[in-house]
Structure formats: C-alpha cells, structure tokens
Amino acid sequence: MSSLAVKYRPRTFEEHVGQEPIVKALRNALRLKRISSAYLFAGPRGVGKTTTARIFAKGLNCEASDDITDRPCGECRACRDIEMGRHPDVIEIDAASNRGIDEIRAIRESVKYLPSRGRKKVYIIDEAHMLTMEAFNALLKTLEEPPEHVVFILATTDPHRIPPTILSRLQKYEFRPISPFDIIRRLQFIARQEGIEVEDRALHEIARRSEGSLRDAISMLEQVWVFSGNSVTYEDVLKFVGGIDPDVLGRLITHIRKGESFEALAILDELLTRGVSPQDFVRELGNYLNDLLRAVLEGRRSDITREHILMYMNNVLKMEEVVRWSQTPRLWVEYYITRMSLLPSTVDLTEIARKYNLTHAPPGKERKMPRQPSPPVEERKEERREDDLAILLASRIRKAPVAGTVRESRVLVEGKKLIIKTRSEALRKFLEEEKEELISAYKELALPVEEVVIEVQKSHPGLLRLIDELELRELGRGEAGGD
C-alpha cells in the first residue's frame, strides 16, 4: 500500500506542478544537450526536488528516445527502473543515513566506469547537507575533474550547510514553495482520481496549513480522508488538525473586547469540549491574532486597534509558555482569557503609546494608510546613508550573539567620528573590542573615520512592557488592595 504522495509523484515533466522556471531551464538544457556535471536542487521540503532529479535522470537515459530528451516518456524500461530506484546507472544516495566517506569513496571508484545501460551515470545525493566534512572533501575531488559521462544532483533543504568550495562547482536551482493555487489544483486532481469528495473550503484550509509543501498537503488530504470517509468537509480538516474556525475566534475576541468574560469562557469551553486541546487553542488564537494584526496594519480592518491586538498577543505568548509546562493547562487558558477580558477596553491605548513615543503618528492626527508625502531628496539620501552604515555594521558582526541588537541601533558619521547609538549594553561591550576592525571596514567604504564613539541610550519602555504594566494597574484597580 503506497501513500497518495508516492502514488501521485509526477513521472514526467508534463505532470510537474509549479517550479516552472526550473522545469523550463532543465528542459532547455536537455533539448540543447548542454548538461552540467553537477547540480544543486535547494528548497523547502516536499516541493519536488527529488521528483525533479528523477525526471531529469530519465531525460538523460530514456530509452524511448534515441538521445538525451526533454520529453522522457515515463513508461519505458529505463524510466520505470529509475522510478523504482533500480536503474544501474542512476544511483540515489540518502546522505542523511549514509553520511560517510565510504559511500563517497565508492562513488569516486564507480564514476570511472562508463554507464552500463544508459547514456549518463546520474548520482542523486539527497539531503546532501548531511554529508560529513571528509565526505565533502572526497566529493570535491570528483567534482573537480568530473568524467564526461557523469552527472551529480545534490538535493538539500539547507544549502547553507554545504561548503562553499562545493557550492561553487554546482549549477544552482532554487525550488520555491508551491503556491496555494497550484496545491489546490493538484489536490482536486488527486481527489477526482480517487473518488474523494472534498469541499472547496477544506482544500483551501489544507493548502494554507501545508505552507507550500505539496507533499504535506497530499498527506494531510489522505489522513483526513482516512479519518472521515469519502466526503471531506472543512470541519473534518479543522477537527483533524485541531484547528478552529476563524469566525469562532472572531466572536471570542469580540466578547473579550467588550469585557464579556462569561461569554468568552463559554466559547472556550465549547471548543475544549469538542476536543480542541489547550495547545491547539493557543496556537490557533495566536495565528488568528497575527492575521488580524496584519489586516489592521494593511488598512483592511479598522474595528480594532493594533494596540489591543498587541495586548492580546502578549497574553497569548504567556499562555503558550504556561501551557507548555503546566499540569493544568486548561486552568491557565481560562485564567488568561478571563484576564484578557478584564483588560481596559475603554482606555485609549493609542494615546498612551503616543505619550511614550511609541508611534510615529503626530498627536491629534491618526496615521491613515494613504501615502505620506515622501521626504525631500536630501533627507532621503541621509537616511540611505545611515542604512548603509548600519548594514555594514551588521555584516561585520553577523556571528556575534549581539547581532540582533544592531537593527535597533543607529549609526551616523560626524566629521571623522563614527557614532553608534544603541540601547544594548552587550553591543557596546562587543564593539569596544572591535573598534579597529570597524575603522578599517568603514575606510574601505571611503569614509574617513578615525574614531568610534559608542553611546548607550537609556531605553524607554517597550510597548510590550508598557502593556504589562498597564494591565497590572488596570487589574489591580478592580481588586481590593490589588497586588
């Protein structure tokens, strides 16, 4: 019994979904017989790397054609053997389980011999980033002088872990996540073939949750199918993944905003009774709020402020922590939902945020999405300059644990002084040691820097901290004495 994902693995380029630029380039190469000796297929999981490598190998060795072809048939003995992994000239190696130098040595031995049946010997090295350093070194020797009849295809989800010496010898193809549109079309096709009836909304939900991995999408469809029979509904998908209908979460948030804790808890209760776990609930609520925040920032919604959403997200973050270790997660989820609905719904958080200088909007005027006039050219130049400086700084200290703090720092040049304004004491300490380095780096940029000045600025409360304080204050107000 094979899974749907295996059953519907494309056998030819025509069946392939998405990745058009890659397919086009590879087919051109086959048609013009301009074959490199080594390729890199990089990209996220389940988007067709292994599939494409096999079809390419078929193009090189298909027996239905007199020569290399961009239309491998998928049917002949060679094509079928490649598909089954038993073609003597197409060797698939899973580097995750064979990390070793022995395998690569064996390859180095065998590349010397001509292909036994086909036109080219193809080595597909899956999960190539898992090879050991020694194995890479051995591979490098082969890549340096590849025999005419050999083609290597390295597939990986993590190209950064492949040494640069190897990378520079590979022709690279970056596989992209498959678009929801293509995923849905492929799922529809498979469902039709299998006689599964699937609601459109269910397909959308699967596509959304598979995040561009067609394999994940197909296996999700298969699992929901097994679990719910021949007709698959949106509800089935939600139930299977522990998902929650956004409409329900929308109602929950509305009750919370109105301070209706009783109603909010009733919704939570119903969800938990229906089998949604506290973990699922927290994850779904977090995603929902994230989408909501985006909608507000993009001006698609205006019935809730971003400060409120941030405040709720702050609570979700805490829920997430507590749910992870608590023996009584349900209790805590209820606690936080209650707490959220007791939070200020009338206090104007925007006003407070403004007071603490946490928003760019000038007092009295709401910042509406429609364009602000762009700054005069002079000013923009200055900004760009600052950007460049900061980027250079960031690139210098990429590896340090303080790298993240650079983004929140400002870098300016005044005369021969390079001034770095930061809130991070850790960054200051780090930079103190790197001053000489920095000066020479900026000199390369034709900046006559002779001195580096690092100013640590006192930080104002971050929005989240502010919200925390505010929450406590408001909660305290309701209780006698408070905490």
Ligand X SMILES: Nc1ncnc2c1ncn2[C@@H]1O[C@H](COP(=O)(O)OP(=O)(O)OP(=O)(O)O)[C@@H](O)[C@H]1O
What does residue 36 show for φ and ψ, rounded to 5 degrees?
A: -75, 165
Q: How near is the Cβ of 69 to Zn ion at its closest, in Å?
A: 8
- The binder of 397, among Mg ion, ligand X, Zn ion, none, by C-beta within 5 to 8 A per type, is none
Q: Binding mask 32-71 vs Zn ion (x if CB under 5 A, - otherwise)?
A: ------------------------------x-x-------
- The binder of 76, among ligand X, Zn ion, Mg ion, none, by C-beta within 5 to 8 A per type, is Zn ion
Question: Coil, helix or strand for 274?
Answer: coil
Q: Which long-range contacts (CB under 8 A, 24 or more apart) does 298-303 make?
A: 298/369, 299/368, 299/369
d(CA 15, CA 58): 14
What's the chain's length in residues? 483
Q: Which residues in 427-466 contact Zn ion (CB under 5 A)? A: none
Reference 136, options 151, 150, 147, 125; nearest CA is 125
Question: Which residue, judged by CB position, is nearest to Mg ion in the bound state?
Answer: 50
- The binder of 16, among ligand X, Zn ion, Mg ion, none, by C-beta within 5 to 8 A per type, is ligand X
Which region among 9-17, 73-81, 248-256, 455-463 touches ligand X (by CB under 6 A)? Answer: 9-17
Q: Smaller CB distance to ligand X: residue 45 or 239?
A: 45
Query: What number of H helices and E strands is found in the chain?
Result: 21, 10
Token pair 């070194």 is found at 137
Q: How near is the Cβ of 475 to ligand X at its closest, in Å?
A: 47
Does 47 bind ligand X (CB under 6 A)? Our answer is yes
Q: How near is the Cβ of 43 to ligand X at its closest, in Å?
A: 6
Does 73 bind Zn ion (CB under 5 A)? Our answer is yes
Q: How near is the Cβ of 218 to ligand X at its closest, in Å?
A: 5
Does 17 bind ligand X (CB under 6 A)? Our answer is yes
Does 8 bind ligand X (CB under 6 A)? Our answer is yes
Which region among 77-85, 163-171, 193-201, 259-267 touches Zn ion (by CB under 5 A)? Answer: 77-85
Reference 437, options 396, 399, 402, 409; nearest CA is 396
Q: CA torsion sign, 285 to 291 to 297 to 300?
A: negative
Burial letters 346-372, b for 16+ CB under 10 A, else e:
eeebbebbbeeebbeeeeeeeeeeeee
Tokens read off for 239: 């139930």
Does 136 bind ligand X (CB under 6 A)? Our answer is no
Q: Smaller CB distance to ligand X: residue 46 or 329?
A: 46
Distance from first CA to last CA of the chain, Å, rounded? 62
DSSP state of 129: G
Q: Which residues bind Zn ion (CB under 5 A)?
A: 62, 64, 72-73, 76, 79
Q: Which residues bind ligand X (CB under 6 A)?
A: 5-6, 8-10, 16-19, 45-51, 155, 157, 214-215, 218
